[in-house]
Amino acid sequence: MAFFSEIFFSTLIGKSVYTVDEKYYGNFRDFIVKKQNGNFLITKVRIRTSGGKRIIVPWSDIYSIEADPVSLKLKKQIHEIKPIDYDDDELRLKRDFLDQQIIDTENHRVVRVNDLKIVAVKDELFMVAADIGVRGLSRRLGFEGWILSFAQIFHKTIQNVLIPSKYIDPLPARIRHDITLTVAQDQLKNMHPADLADIMEDLDQFERMSMLQALPADIMSKTVAELDPSVREKLLGKLKDETIAKMLERLAPDAATDIVEELPKRRMHHLLNIMKAKEAEEIRELLKFKKDTAGSIMNTKFVALKGTLTVAEALDELRKKGEHAEHIYYLYIVDDEDILKGAVSLRDIIFADAKIQLGALIKRKPVYARLKEKLNSIVGKFTKYNLIVLPVVGHNKKLEGVITVDDVLPLLQESKNL
């Protein structure tokens, strides 16, 4: 087995998990621990499989934890993996410690955990300390190196602020609601919706609703879109239709359509009826396409301009229209009938002469997908041409929408591991 001597828990979250025969199996979600002689012994591992299912495997199923790049390897092949459940006396590091209030029994205070220190002793792992300092927080947010470099300029050092595990106890769930350490609104705003969704998935229903209400409206909508479908179903069951309708209106049409499709038909039609007409019509159009086609996952909010516009005019148009597009990597060039003629990168436009027409900047024929094109063909195009965005065209090559790489990322991952 290959294990590190010590590591911080945040560096493992979301990292890939592979089977013994090197096949991608999913991503690491959490460690499950039991308290033992003042430390917390890691007994099980929680994994989110490539299919989105959350399972628990015993620690004994882990063959190694690699350092470069950080990843976990199982001892078994996929068909040999047998999920297990929690024991009553076990805790989860991410849910019960990370970002939670803990009782510092040495200093008699409630503190917030930013990270957790893990050490290996032979073939066993232990959580031995909680990091409650700025360095732990910066590590979680991904800019520890920047913070340390900045401190060096002023000849300062930033230490990890560690509380040994023998002095800490997680607050019982029943009193977490009564002793609240509020996360600043600015911190919430700066977190990616996918990270917020990960946190929400590890909360109970009461805590999810509380956290949701603390988020700004646009971030709330994107966070709900990132939730696991089973969690989202429970959450939406607690929300009023008017709240969901406003949330859907803030999302990109493809993301809103994914959510609407999960709802019972009666509720889906009611939501579309109470939504703003434009946003509801965009969703209705996408619902017409089969799930495994380009039309079903495309985003209808994009920037398309006429090839006769100059670069200066295009930049003016971009300032007006750009805020309504989800991504602006390329400007799509169309004729008077919205027929796709080509694409120009934002970089090329920025460095071009202001008087040049957009049509003159087109370097090659555009790669595109048809509305009814199958997803496996679309994945092939993203891989072959190393694309970030793929335009979707309908009859006579009329531009209808775009597919971004994040829309096909799960399929790209699957094809990579075949």
How far from each other are the two terminal CA atoms of the chain, in whole angstroms?
A: 25
**pLDDT value at position 188?**
57
Domain co-membership, 309 together with 284: no
- DSSP β-bridge partners for residue 44: 32, 58
| Beta pairing class for 330-334 and 304-306 | parallel
Domain co-membership, 53 together with 10: yes
Helix pair 217-226, 253-262: axis angle to 10 deg: 60
Q: Would 178 be classed as within a structural domain?
A: no
pLDDT bracket for residue 259 (50, 70, 90):
very high
Helix pair 241-250, 277-287: axis angle to 10 deg: 80
Number of domains in the chain: 3
Give the predicted TM-score (pTM) of the model. Answer: 0.51
Domain co-membership, 410 together with 284: no
**Among candidate residues 266, 290, 314, the one where a domain is terminated:** 290
**pLDDT value at position 274?**
96
What CATH number has the domain bearing residue 107? Answer: 2.30.30.240
Share of the chain above pLDDT 90, in %: 45
Domain co-membership, 160 together with 49: yes
Q: Would 180 be classed as within a structural domain?
A: no
Average pLDDT over residues 186-211: 72
- 172-191 pLDDT tens trace: 443 344 333 333 344 556 67
Domain co-membership, 400 together with 318: yes
Measure Cα distances from 306 to 301, 364, 389 in Å.
16, 17, 19
Token reading at 4: 């590190």
Domain co-membership, 321 together with 386: yes
pLDDT above 50 for 88: yes
Domain co-membership, 97 together with 229: no
Range with the lowest mean pLDDT among 4-8, 77-81, 151-155? 151-155
Separation between Cα atoms, residue 297 and residue 286, nearest integer Å: 8
pLDDT bracket for residue 223 (50, 70, 90):
very high
Domain co-membership, 111 together with 235: no
Q: Give the structural domain span for 43.
A: 6-169
Q: Would 191 be classed as within a structural domain?
A: yes
pLDDT bracket for residue 200 (50, 70, 90):
confident
Q: Would 391 be classed as within a structural domain?
A: yes
Domain co-membership, 151 together with 31: yes
